[in-house]
Amino acid sequence: MRSPEKRYLRPAACIAGAVLAMLTLPFAAPARADTYPSRPITVIVPYPAGGGTDIVARTLTGLLEKELGVPINVINKAGGGGIPGQTAIAHAKPDGYTIGVIASDISVYKAQGLADLTYKDMTPIGQTNELASGVSVIEGSPYKTIQELVAGIKAHPGQLKATGASPGVNWHIAFSGLMLGLGLDPSTVTWVPTQGGTAGHLDVAAGNSTFSTASLAEGRALIEAKKLRPLAVMAKERLQLFPDVPTLKESLGIDWTFALWHGVVGPKGLPDELMNRLSAAVEKVATSEAFRKPLEERGFSLVYRDPAAFRAFMASDLAEMERIFVELDKMKQQ
């Protein structure tokens, strides 16, 4: 007959073995490149559903699911100018299962004293595209060219109105950089705040504001309906969607360019092997026809940068935004 001691030791040994087995299961170990990904990935979008960043993210992730072989869930963490959502990306566990699609707003937070958050708090995975700023007026405007508009700004300080965004973000920065590039004080034009570029274009088409510096893509319907007239684009080259619209360099001889850009990032500390796996997948998708075509039809330009180039670009973008806001502060103090 089995002794009592042996009867009780056997179940205890089984339990100990089961615990040991659980501790050594694959899901308990850190993600490795050869097994990653093995479960769904979450992509955080720091802006509302339906906006430009959301459109880019959902177009990208729909294709990325096929490339990585796992479901990808897009979560919109909107509000606060994108700061809460981008902070959530930066503070996520660096295991490759939470990443994000961010926009160029990451370069303006510290420059304006809104938050200490910068690109340095994230792991660059790859830039995907950009959306260049433009200058447009109502179709019946007396300003037929960008040169005539600039002459009007100089001749009538304080009388013209510009619009396209809330103060201190994207298209307002585009406007500020344009004015500084011309050697003009931005305060000589009244800035009319709007909730985004489309609203700005509508404001101009209604005759309320003189011009908009939002992307021409956001005003495409109004331009095609002959409600708006595009005068220039703030890009190094003419846009494929608007080949007849000159650049600022062509028309005014200034080098100022501005574009709202998007890219994929992970939290700080994302291991290189996981970043490389994600980067290879993002590059394949972001340079594909399936990604390019629908976005170009919306006016986005495909601009892919690998992790190293993306980091260098974000560093230069942050420095440029800091320069702009320093100059604006100096003008306010004069």
Q: What is the topology classification, in CATH, of domain 41-131+261-325?
A: D-Maltodextrin-Binding Protein; domain 2 (3.40.190)
**Residue of 149, 189, 150, 155 whose CA lies nearest to 172:** 189
Average pLDDT over residues 205-220: 95
**Confidence band for 9, pLDDT divided at 50, 70 and 90:** very low
**What does each C-alpha distance from 30 to 23, 35, 95, 107, 277 come to in angstroms?**
12, 10, 7, 32, 15
Check for a shared fold between 41-131+261-325 and 134-257: yes
Lowest mean pLDDT among 12-16, 206-210, 284-288: 12-16
**Predicted pLDDT of residue 332:** 81
User: Within 13 A of 177's CA, how many CA atoms are on the CB side?
Assistant: 27
Could you please report the per-residue DSSP string of 37-73? Answer: --S-EEEEESS-TTSHHHHHHHHHHHHHHHHHTS-EE
Q: What tokens were used for 177?
A: 């950089």
Nearest to 267 by CA among 40, 81, 100, 127: 100
Amino acid occupying residue 311: R
> How many CA atoms lie less than 13 Å away from 263 in the CB half-sphere?
28
Q: What is the CA radius of gyration of the chain?
A: 25
> With 50 as the cut, is the pLDDT of residue 10 above it?
no
User: Considering only CA atoms, which of 109, 131, 112, 129 is closest in space to residue 121?
Assistant: 109
- pLDDT tens track for 244-259: 999 999 999 999 999 9
Q: Give domain limits for the chain.
A: 41-131+261-325, 134-257
Model pLDDT, residue 315: 97
Mean pLDDT of 24-47: 75
Would you state the pLDDT for residue 81?
A: 83
Q: Which of 14-23, 91-100, 213-222 has the lowest mean pLDDT?
A: 14-23
User: How much is the pLDDT for 31?
Assistant: 53
Which residues, 6+ apart, have CB-to-CB distance to 334 below 8 Å? none
**Quick one: average pLDDT of 36-53?**
92
Between these two residues, 317 and 81, which has the higher pLDDT value?
A: 317
Q: Which fold has domain 134-257?
A: D-Maltodextrin-Binding Protein; domain 2 (3.40.190)
